Amino acid sequence: MAAGTPTPEGHYVKRVTLPSGKTIEVVYFESARIEREQPVPGSAPSRELHICADCASQLVYPTQWDEAGLENWEVSLRCPNCELTSTGVFSQDLVDAFDEVLDEGTEQLVSDLRQLTQANMSEEIDRFVKALDAEALLPEDF
- Taking only the tens place, the pLDDT of each residue in 3-31 is 455 556 666 677 777 777 788 877 766 54
- Report if residue 72 sits inside a domain: yes
Q: Are both 24 and 79 inside the same structural domain?
A: no
Q: Are both 27 and 47 inside the same structural domain?
A: no
- Report if residue 142 sits inside a domain: no
Q: Are both 73 and 55 inside the same structural domain?
A: yes
Q: Are both 17 and 49 inside the same structural domain?
A: no
Distance (Å, whole) CA 98 – CA 77:
11
109 phi-psi bin (left φ>0, alpha ψ -120 to 50, beta other) = alpha
- Report if residue 138 sits inside a domain: no
**pLDDT digit string, tens, across residues 56-71:** 999 999 999 998 888 8
Q: Are both 28 and 71 inside the same structural domain?
A: no
Q: Are both 13 and 60 inside the same structural domain?
A: no
Count of structural domains within the chain:
2
pLDDT at residue 31 in the model: 46
Q: Are both 51 and 5 inside the same structural domain?
A: no
Q: Are both 46 and 80 inside the same structural domain?
A: yes
Q: Report residue 37's pLDDT band, with 50, 70 and 90 as the boundaries.
A: very low
- Report if residue 84 sits inside a domain: yes
Distance (Å, whole) CA 1 – CA 3:
7
- Report if residue 131 sits inside a domain: no
Q: Are both 50 and 77 inside the same structural domain?
A: yes
Q: What DSSP string describes the chain?
A: -PPPEE-TTS-EEEEEE-TTS-EEEEEE-HHHHHHHTSPPTTPPPP--TTS-TTT--S--EEEEEEE-SSSEEEEEEE-TTT--EEEEEEEHHHHHHHHHHHHHHHHHHHHHHHHHHHHHHHHHHHHHHHHHHTT---GGG-
Q: Are both 18 and 66 inside the same structural domain?
A: no
Q: Are both 30 and 48 inside the same structural domain?
A: no
- Taking residues 93-116, report their average pLDDT: 93
% pLDDT > 90, the chain: 46
pTM score, whole prediction: 0.58
What range defines the domain where residue 85 resides? 41-117
- Report if residue 136 sits inside a domain: no
- pLDDT of 54 > 80? The answer is yes
